[in-house]
Amino acid sequence: MDFSGEHIFLVEDDQTLNFIVRDNLEQNGYKVTAVDDGQKAITEFEKDKFSICILDVMLPKKDGFTVAREIRKKDDHVPIIFLTAKSMTEDRIKGLSIGGDDYITKPFSMEELLLRIKVFLKRSLKPDNTDGIPVARRVGVYNFYFENLILECGDKRKTLTYKEAELLKYFCENSNKVLSRSEILMNVWGSDDYYLGRSLDVFISRLRRYLKDDPDIKILNLHGIGFRFNARLGKN
Amino acid sequence: MDFSGEHIFLVEDDQTLNFIVRDNLEQNGYKVTAVDDGQKAITEFEKDKFSICILDVMLPKKDGFTVAREIRKKDDHVPIIFLTAKSMTEDRIKGLSIGGDDYITKPFSMEELLLRIKVFLKRSLKPDNTDGIPVARRVGVYNFYFENLILECGDKRKTLTYKEAELLKYFCENSNKVLSRSEILMNVWGSDDYYLGRSLDVFISRLRRYLKDDPDIKILNLHGIGFRFNARLGKN
DNA sequence: TTCAGCGATTAACATTTCATTAACAAAACT
DNA sequence: AGTTTTGTTAATGAAATGTTAATCGCTGAA
């Protein structure tokens, strides 16, 4: 994903940190406006439109929260990430990251900051529509509702178990591709040993049974290598 | 449902937490009055009328329970949610909390706090509502008068408890959708632990019994995942 | 105050589900 | 042939769920 054009507002009084963060953000394709005290922050914020704000909590003149309040008066929705000192309340606020704002305790790594920025920007790009109607995949003659664990053929409905659904989904996402046994195990089971391998065989056997109404769907075995899932797929 | 206009009283001495919680509540359309010590809390509480109070237990000057008692003197019914440190033992908290209240241990997620607030507000809204014209929902062959807690099938009438009605309503609002156990618990109970999970099972069992006159209504379990409520719904 | 009644939670026990493991058969490769 | 890999079905055991009963805390009446 390309975030160029995203504009980040940075408020940090420590000159060194200010420079480093700014530089790193710019290296990553962001446009950055950086200031070093709370007073300037407020005047500067009014001049432009930002995608995200990064505020040091301890600032000369006006502290970060005051600045945050002023920002909120202008913009209800811009995400704010606070930079807080380690000493502050560490575990007391952990877990608060789900709400509108977030915080990072110093010292932090640039990777961490970049990651959080990415998460926020992604979130603001699309309204969270997670509770919409579950998407059906067409798998040959079947409809496969992964979220509901339903595999439907005409008016026959089969409710899959969670793991069956996971495996079928994985096959759909990698159809007509050779998948090694360990690749499948790592991606669906999360680990790989002999007995899980046998478990996989049991699941494959079961999926073949569920899918036998369409002769064009095949889970074929490559001896000693793995499997290939062949099917005509589509969205509804 | 729209809670805008609900006024929340927040007492939390930690500046970071105070700001973040306040900001998040405001983002969610609540009006918030926030103070940072027990002394101010008491003077401030007298000035206004609140729908719900969120009190940190450990406060400078006056601790949260003392504040709670003062609040109780003024208002018998306002719900109080305590924010407690993880270290506190369960029974100590329970012993100290006064009727009708709840507590959350830090660290907590904003999501969790918001859901609990929602559950409390829903509960306190109810009594005023009873004199409106009750709306019937059709649920299969049943009529469900949520406001009156009545489930009616032909001439048979069953009076539900408040929680039974809440759960059934939640199912109606999310029919034919997979609901995870914790999703249900968070939305109907406001929190999520093992024993509430068993409580949920008891309620499901009871709802199934109440609804068994219509064979097309199903609360079906997806093992290890949650439930799906299937029914033909409609308004009257 | 104590006591009965109610509703939610917790306990206790029964039942079901499902992934894994085992066991054996069939196929593929040496 | 002999060995390994895969297919299939059944047995196992742990965990999740279903169900009924006991318990707990609250409320309101006596």
> Rounded CA gap, A77 and A51, in Å?
9
Strands A7-11 and A31-35: parallel
pLDDT in tens, A176-218: 999 999 999 999 998 888 888 999 999 999 999 999 999 999 9
How far is C-alpha A172 from the chain's CA centre? 21
From chain B, pick out residues whose CB is under 8 angstroms from the CB of A134: 177-178
Domain A7-125 identical in fold to domain A136-235:
no
pLDDT at residue A86, as a whole number: 56
B113: nearest Cα among B234, B17, B233, B16:
B17
Q: For the packed helices A38-47 and A64-74, what is the interaxial angle rounded to 10 degrees?
A: 20
Q: If pLDDT is split at 50, 70 and 90, which confidence band does B133 have?
A: low
- What mean pLDDT do residues B76-101 have? 64
Cα Rg of chain B (Å, integer): 20
User: For position A95, what pLDDT does the model report?
Assistant: 40
At B152, the amino acid letter reads E
User: Contact A94/B111, CB-based, under 8 Å?
Assistant: no
Closest CA to B200 of B223, B227, B177, B174: B227
Helices (H) and strands (E) in chain B, counts: 8, 13
Give the pLDDT band of residue A73 (cuts 50, 70, 90).
confident
- The arithmetic mean of pLDDT across residues B81-102, rounded, is 61
pLDDT on residue A218: 95
Lowest average pLDDT, out of B21-30, B151-160, B163-172, goes to B21-30
Confidence of residue A89 (pLDDT cuts 50, 70, 90): very low
Q: Give the Cα separation of B130 and B197 in Å (integer).
A: 30
Q: Write out pLDDT tens, residues B100-129.
A: 577 787 667 777 888 889 888 887 654 444
Kindly indicate the confidence band of residue B69, based on its pLDDT and cuts at 50, 70 and 90.
confident
Q: How far from chain centre, in Å, is Cα B151?
A: 22
- Split at pLDDT 50, 70, 90, the class of A146 is very high
pLDDT at B111: 79
Question: Mean pLDDT in chain B?
Answer: 84
Pick from A116-125, A155-164, A211-220, B25-34: least confident: A116-125
Q: What is the DSSP letter of B145?
A: E
Give the mean pLDDT of A50-71.
83
Domain A136-235 has CATH 1.10.10.10: yes
In the predicted structure, residue B95 carries a pLDDT above the cut 50 = no
Number of H helices, E strands in chain A: 8, 13
- Superfamily covering domain A7-125: Response regulator (3.40.50.2300)
Would you state the pLDDT for residue B14? 81
The strand D neighbours among B residues 75-104, by Cβ under 7 Å, are 99-100
Distance, CA of A96 to CA of B85 (rounded, Å) = 15
Chain Cα centroid distance, residue B7: 16
Residues of A in Cβ contact (< 8 Å) with B15: 65
Interface with B, mutate which of A58, A84, A91, A92 (most B CBs under 10 A): A92
**Which residue did the predictor score with more confidence, B131 or B185?**
B185
| pLDDT above 90 coverage of chain A, percent | 49
Higher pLDDT, B127 or A138: A138
Q: Which pLDDT band holds residue A88 (cuts at 50, 70, 90)?
A: very low
Which is more confidently placed, B134 or A186?
Answer: A186
Share of chain B above pLDDT 70, in %: 85
% chain A with pLDDT above 70: 84
Length of chain A, please? 236
Best CATH choice for the domain B7-128 from the list 3.40.50.2300, 3.30.830.10, 3.40.50.720, 3.40.710.10: 3.40.50.2300
CA distance B36 to B41: 8
Using pLDDT thresholds of 50, 70 and 90, give the confidence band for residue B154.
Answer: confident
Asked if pLDDT for residue A128 goes beyond 50, the answer is no
Does nucleic acid strand D have an atom less than 7 angstroms from the CB of A181?
Answer: yes
User: Domain boundaries in chain A?
Assistant: 7-125, 136-235
Exposure string for B100-139, b = 16+ CB within 10 A, e = fewer: ebebbebbbebebbbbbbbbbbbebeeeeeeeeeeebbeb
pLDDT of residue A161 exceeding 70 = yes
Query: For B102-111, B135-144, B225-234, which range has the lowest pLDDT when averaged over its residues?
Result: B102-111
Q: Is A96 exposed, middle or buried (0-12, 13-18, 19+ CB in 10 A)?
A: buried
The arithmetic mean of pLDDT across residues A161-167, rounded, is 96
Contact A93 B111 (CB under 8 A): no
On the question of pLDDT at A125 being above 80, the answer is no
Question: Taking CA atoms, what residue in B is nearest to A66?
Answer: B19
| Contact call for B16 and A84, based on CB within 8 A | yes
Q: Most B CBs within 10 Å: which of A94, A97, A98, as the mutation test of the B interface?
A: A98
* Interchain CB distance below 8 Å, A100 and B23: yes
Structure tokens at B187: 């939305």
State what percent of residues in chain B have pLDDT above 90. 44
Digit-coded pLDDT (tens) for B167-208:
999 999 999 999 999 999 999 998 888 889 999 999 999 999
User: Rounded distance, CA B224 to CA B180, Å?
Assistant: 9
Q: Which of residues 38-67 of A touch B (CB under 8 A)?
A: 57, 65
Which of the residue ranges A12-16, A26-30, A83-87 would you say has the lowest mean pLDDT? A83-87
What is the mean predicted confidence (pLDDT) over B37-64? 87
pLDDT at B130: 42
Is the CB of A72 less than 8 angstroms away from the CB of B24?
Answer: no
Q: What is the pLDDT of residue A236?
A: 61
